[in-house]
């Protein structure tokens, strides 16, 4: 039985929540391995919507779940999200959830720094969620982060906070913000420590033991591969690695633990925030896709930018994440269009290229080269077999497979988990 990594193949918001929920029925363990509470999942189960942004999606199904060391954890949000699920009848206890002891914490000063930078009149606006994700990762690589395990050592916590503030307070002074008091941060953390401590564990050890028992592990990625700090549209990216390879270091398991990579891929393209978007349609087509697809951010509520399917970026993600197969989502949003366009290449300074350049300047200058396909009038919504799909819809899916160099393993035709066509079970790879 395979262990599966789920990764977004575009800029996030591809519908990972539903697919992870669908796969979690076949998994024994669900692991979050990067990001923080800046990336939301919406699960629709029995007509009830569950909105998750930090906790692994498998918890809603009662699956043993893990927040890995590659995640940055806001302890107050952690407690609040558990309480929110509790109010919806989902009880979260240490029996079903563990948090890596070496995961970095997001503090209030990280959120404030995030906002100060975004509101600044100078510098580059990234369009972050202002959740403090980037500043928390900066402290991690700067070796000054407060980590989950530090909550268990209150006697030395204040000294660690003071060391952290020796970096942050000069930054704040330079931005015209008041300095932060170490005691205030200390009390901020002690207020949630008792609620979080029962969940802390050596996650690498827990996962290794479960893997040796033959349990199937589902690694749940957040955001999308084009937001990867190395392989995305830098600098308009997140502060972590979002490609599939991060599942190993972000959980404490070696790369041999990964058997199958499933790329969640929307049948068109969306993006939230700033940055290049070659196939964006700032017109009636984009409005149609946004309204039909209900394209608003789970975490921020921001309207998503919408455009045609870009085979160039997905083909590139297939390679940088080692994707074996894709789960194609939201095909039904394209129902009723007379013509559907697909980007098959770019023009850059008069030359045709088949990749997304690394430099910000070149990314802003690429122009999409389109192929046009005939649309379909019959609905694909709720289809559960290939026979239920219009012929032109099948043609569209097959053409996408050819363009990106990866087969469709799953096809999602509505937000409901049952409306899924299984072509290849990733756990049976």
Catalytic residue among 13, 74, 310, 332: 13
Residues 151 and 129 in one domain: yes
The answer as to whether 262 is a domain residue is no
Helices (H), 54-132: 75-87, 108-119
Residues of the chain with pLDDT under 70: 1, 121-127, 297-301, 429
Residues 36 and 171 in one domain: no
> To the nearest 5 percent, what fractions of the chain are helix, strand and coil?
40, 20, 40
Cβ contacts of 46 within 8 Å, gap of 6 or more: none
Residues 90 and 234 in one domain: yes
Total number of domains constituting the chain:
3
Residues 219 and 308 in one domain: no
The answer as to whether 23 is a domain residue is yes
Write down the pLDDT at residue 429: 61
Annotation marks residue 324 as catalytic:
no
CATH number at residue 119: 1.10.300.10
Residue 217, helix vs strand vs coil: strand
Q: Dump strand ranges (E) for 300-395.
A: 305-307, 309-310, 325-329, 339-348, 351-353, 367-374
What does the block give as tokens for 34? 């990067």
- What is the reported pTM? 0.93
Write down the pLDDT at residue 313: 98
Write down the pLDDT at residue 120: 75
What does the block give as tokens for 276? 């290049």
Annotation marks residue 205 as catalytic:
no
Catalytic residue among 21, 28, 37, 41: 41
CATH number at residue 320: 3.90.170.10
Write down the pLDDT at residue 50: 85
Q: Dump strand ranges (E) for 122-247.
A: 200-201, 217-220
Strands 29-32 and 64-67: parallel
Residues 285 and 397 in one domain: yes
Dist CA 68 CA 222 (whole Å): 12
Range of the domain at 416: 267-428
Residues 301 and 419 in one domain: yes
Strands 97-100 and 200-201: parallel
Dist CA 71 CA 74 (whole Å): 10
Boundary residue ending a domain (196, 228, 245): 196
* Kind and range of the H or E run holding 42: strand 41-45
The answer as to whether 325 is a domain residue is yes
Residue 369, helix vs strand vs coil: strand
Write down the pLDDT at residue 122: 63
């Amino acid at each position: 039985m395979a262990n599966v990594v789920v990764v977004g193949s575009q800029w996030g918001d591809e519908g990972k929540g539903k697919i992870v929920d669908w796969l979690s029925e076949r998994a024994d363990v669900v692991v979050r391995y990067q990001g923080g509470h800046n990336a939301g999942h919406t699960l629709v189960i029995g007509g009830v919507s569950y909105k998750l942004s930090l906790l692994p999606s498998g918890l809603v199904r009662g699956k043993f779940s893990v927040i890995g060391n590659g995640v940055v954890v806001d302890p107050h949000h952690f407690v609040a999200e558990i309480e929110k699920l509790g109010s919806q009848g989902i009880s979260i206890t240490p029996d079903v959830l563990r948090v890596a002891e070496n995961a970095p914490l997001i503090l209030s000063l990280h959120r404030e720094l995030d906002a100060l930078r975004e509101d600044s009149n100078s510098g580059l606006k990234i369009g972050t969620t202002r959740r403090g994700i980037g500043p928390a990762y900066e402290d991690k690589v700067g070796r000054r982060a407060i980590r989950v395990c530090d909550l268990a050592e209150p006697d030395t916590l204040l000294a660690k906070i003071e060391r952290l503030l020796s970096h942050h307070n000069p930054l704040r002074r330079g931005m015209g913000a008041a300095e932060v008091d170490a005691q205030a941060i200390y009390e901020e953390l002690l207020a949630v420590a008792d609620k979080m401590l029962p969940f802390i564990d050596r996650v690498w050890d827990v996962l290794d033991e479960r893997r040796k028992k033959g349990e199937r592990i589902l690694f749940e990625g957040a955001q999308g591969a084009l937001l990867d700090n190395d392989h995305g549209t830098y600098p308009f990216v997140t502060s972590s690695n979002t490609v599939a390879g991060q599942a190993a270091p972000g959980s404490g398991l070696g790369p041999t633990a990964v058997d199958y990579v499933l790329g969640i891929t929307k049948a068109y393209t969306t993006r939230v925030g700033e940055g290049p978007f070659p196939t964006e349609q700032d017109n009636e087509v984009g409005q149609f896709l946004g309204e039909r697809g209900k394209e608003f951010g789970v975490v921020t509520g921001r309207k998503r930018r919408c455009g045609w399917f870009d085979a160039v970026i997905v083909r590139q993600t297939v390679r940088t994440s080692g994707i074996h197969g894709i789960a194609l989502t939201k095909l039904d949003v394209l129902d009723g269009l007379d013509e559907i366009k697909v980007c098959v290449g770019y023009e850059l300074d008069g030359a045709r290229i088949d990749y997304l350049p690394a430099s910000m300047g070149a990314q802003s200058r690429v122009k999409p080269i389109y192929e046009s396909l005939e649309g379909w009038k019959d609905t694909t919504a709720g289809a559960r077999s290939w026979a239920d799909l219009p012929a032109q819809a099948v043609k569209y899916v097959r053409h996408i497979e050819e363009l990106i160099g990866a087969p469709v393993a799953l096809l999602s035709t509505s937000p409901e988990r049952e409306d899924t066509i299984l072509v290849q079970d990733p756990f049976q790879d």
